[in-house]
Amino acid sequence: MGQDFRLPDLGEGLPDAELVSWLIAEGDEVALNQNIAEVETAKAVIELPSPFAGTVQKLHHAAGDVVEVGEVLITFGGQDAADAAVAASEATAEGEEETEKATPNLVGYGAAPRRSARPQRRTRVARADDARGPDTAVLEAAPHDAIVEQPPERPMERPRSTPPVRKLAKDLGVDLALVSGSGQAGLITRSDVEAYAARVGVADATAAAEAGRERAQAADAASARAAQDGDRTTRRPIRGVRKATAEAMVASAFTAPHVSTFHTVDVTATMQLVASLKSDRALADHRIGVMAIAAKAVCLALGRNPSLNAKWDAAAGEIVEHHYVNLGIAAATDRGLIVPVIPDADALTLVELADAITELAQTARSGKTPPSAMTGGTFSITNFGVFGIEAGTPILNPGEAGILGLGSVQRRPWEHEGGIALREVMTLSLSFDHRLVDGAEGSRFLADVGSILVEPGRAMLMR
């Protein structure tokens, strides 16, 4: 007896995920919680652990497929998987204590669903002298853990399905309350909806046919474009991190009124400090660079300019000022731009900040940044200087008041102590939400960051 493992909800409310790669093959023996696949959501690449131990009977999708939540990913065989399948389907007879064995837990994504998410009630047997009759009989409370059979015409709770399946049902005119789910814990799948529509001859079969024609036309158009383009172009679907980033940036650009300002400063003293720290054998295990010092400067400057560490809550009609700094660090990866967050960065020392930035960058480059690490930011830094770029106009991370761009460090002729000398110079680019931050406040913040980079010792005077 096989056991199907379906793509779980990865905790982001997303309807699907792209299968990046399989970490196992058909015929392999898999242990409980062994990583079996890599999937990419709109935020990151995630490794899926197996909720079963057993033999891989079948892989239902290939790398590159977009799989909907609830679709079967893999079928397991073996006694452990069979036992889990039987245990998940058993129910204790009425009147006996429930001893149900749950389906094994998928580590990191919550326990498998039970038959009901809340206490149930059982229908009171109507007495002959009950004037209200059986249809209006009062429900008596059942024990908290009782399993109660409800009349089929009165479903106990909303039918379980995924957003794409609900959309399909709407397009076909199918009432999900009338559809029996064949998925895990009664989940209604696409095939369930299509089978129901075919079985009852839904009048909206015309809509299904029209949708099918539209899909066929789109496929024909894509084939025609590909044939016309030949080897001169490459087309890639917009999805995953790239799609999520694009949507977030468009939303940010058309929601928050962006203002950008620039400040070019002499960072020779900062570069000398970096060189000194690098040569210190006691700090050999730590990579303290310009980014770490700039991050420390940002945390100090935000304490003096709190309007840059705030968000605009339109729903509540409030401006929310944060008394902590969750610092986002923009990271360019093969899959697109992501912004992992360093929680409570203002409470970290320079060395701790440097270590956090190093770890964040390594995790981002490997594609292993979890979705939870990319939420809750209050201010961000982006470093386009690593590409040799002097300045830019960064777009705000949604929900944040400001973002600082670090330009490349360049040797230039610069006024110094009454003369001209070659100095290490950097341009700082600040974009901010003009609803929250006035020009004067933005300028003061940028001047504070710049003064620390010009003379790092000034950080000792700030609080």
Question: Which residues are designated catalytic?
Answer: 434
- Rounded CA gap, 288 and 285, in Å? 10
| Torsion 303-305-309-314 (CA) sign | positive
β-strand pairing of 45-49 with 35-40: antiparallel
In sequence order, what are the beta bridge partners of 45?
A: 40
- Rounded CA gap, 135 and 137, in Å? 6
Q: Count the alpha carbons within 13 Å of 257 in the hemisphere toward its beta carbon.
A: 6
Scored b (16 or more CB within 10 A) or e, 30-42 reads beebbebbbbbbb
Residue 260: partners with Cβ closer than 8 Å, 6 or more residues away: 393, 394, 429, 430, 431, 432
- Rounded CA gap, 428 and 388, in Å? 14
Helices and strands, number each (H, E), in the chain? 9, 21
β-strand pairing of 331-333 with 327-329: unpaired
Are the C-beta atoms of residues 88 and 103 closer than 8 Å to each other? yes
| Torsion 255-256-262-267 (CA) sign | negative
